[in-house]
Amino acid sequence: MNAANRYSTLIKRELIEHRKAVIYAPFIIAGIMFALILVSALWNGAFKVNGTGFTAKMLESAVATKGEATLALVHQGWMFGFFMIFHIASGIVILTYSLGCLFDERKDRSTLFWRSLPVRDWETVISKLIMATLIIPAIFLIALAVLQALIVVTFVVTCWQNQVDATRFVWAPLPFLATQFWQFVSTFAGILWALPVIGWILLCSAYAKQRPILLVLLIPGVIAAGVMMMNLGKSAMWAFGGRDAARDMIVDYFSRFGHLFIPMVGGNWKDSFENVDETLLRIEPIISHVISMKGLTGALIGAALIGTAIWVRRYREDAAI
């Protein structure tokens, strides 16, 4: 039995256990969206020869009013819209998965079965981390790519039906592969950004006796309240103005999430959408965040929390018998 076989067994277990949220959900979301688009397209007569409204006709009128460069923005715009939907959905699945993955097996006592096999605790925790940070986002990305490809096909079909030049309106301005690459980089940069949160949730999942969600929310809440109280005292006594370096750093770190994705439009979505005339989806700000001091600090804190989660899983005393 080699190591690769062993790890694929651990991952396979997770995939089977969480198949509904991890495998079915992304494709169901993609299916529902595509069905809605098809119904909408049919409703608007987009597939009919010289049909009214929607897709090909829309593209023609956009070019007529705003010029040829608009086509690239329009295509990036709709792809980005679906990306955000999948991004949020995968975020919810990742957080829910992380919350339950080390807790549920203790709750139903199956941990005694899993731990009766010669699998190291760190291997189990790492397999769950791989699920949360690589497999789940990857499956969502695949489902998203399938959906986007199907939409492109729909565009092309409507162009043909309406005798509109598909090369001019779809193939040439549509940066399909570049967008896939951007989605890939953004997703995993987002995961790196969220590593302290994922690590914290895994730790709570490994530690909680009853409801991990309470620990996840309560402890940061209590700490935040404590910091605020201390600041109130400080500002009253020394008139420091309530500034706190640690708090500012945390707020800045988390508010950066928005900037990470909106910045592909340069930090201001609306302005950029109207002014940028070539590439909406930029990779540089995302990469520069990931390799920044803040990005690396966040990843390190996340790694430390995951290490603690492994320690708790290994040494906690109440492995129920």
Partner 1 sequence: MSAVIEARALKKQYKGKFALNDCSFSIGKGRIVGLIGPNGAGKTTAIKAILGLTAVEGELRVLGLDPFKQREKLMEEVCFIADVAILPRWATAKDLIDYVEGTHAKFSRERCLDYLSDTDIKLSSRVGQLSKGMVVQLHLAMIMAIGAKLLVLDEPTLGLDILYRKRFYEQLLGDYYDGERTILITTHQVEEVEPLLNDVIFINRGKVALSETLDALAERYCNLTVDASRLEQAREFKPISEKRLLGKNQLLFDRADRDALKQLGDVAPPSLSELFVALLG
Encoding tokens for residue 27? 């494709």
| Nearest-approach distance from CB 225 to partner 1, in angstroms | 30
Options 42, 67, 92, 109; binder of partner 1; rule CB under 8 A:
109
| Nearest-approach distance from CB 112 to partner 1, in angstroms | 4
Cα separation, 109 vs 124, in Å, equals: 16
Q: How long, in residues, is the chain? A: 321
Q: Which is nearer to partner 1, 2 or 210 (CB)?
A: 2
Whole-number Cα distances in Å, 84 to 79, 261, 294: 9, 9, 24
Whole-number Cα distances in Å, 269 to 23, 104, 182: 32, 41, 17
From 30-38, 112-120, 160-168, 268-276, give the range in contact with partner 1 by CB under 8 A. Answer: 112-120
Options 21, 23, 63, 119; binder of partner 1; rule CB under 8 A:
119
From 22-30, 109-117, 139-147, 218-226, give the range in contact with partner 1 by CB under 8 A. Answer: 109-117
| Nearest-approach distance from CB 119 to partner 1, in angstroms | 5
From 105-113, 138-146, 220-228, 267-275, give the range in contact with partner 1 by CB under 8 A. Answer: 105-113
Options 43, 113, 181, 240; binder of partner 1; rule CB under 8 A:
113
Cα separation, 47 vs 45, in Å, equals: 6
- Long-range CB contacts (< 8 A, 24+ apart) of 305-308? 305/196, 305/199, 305/200, 305/202, 305/203, 306/125, 306/129, 306/195, 306/198, 306/199, 306/202, 306/203, 308/199, 308/203
Binding site for partner 1 (CB under 8 A): 1, 5-6, 8-10, 12-13, 16-17, 105, 108-110, 112-113, 115-120, 315, 317, 319, 321
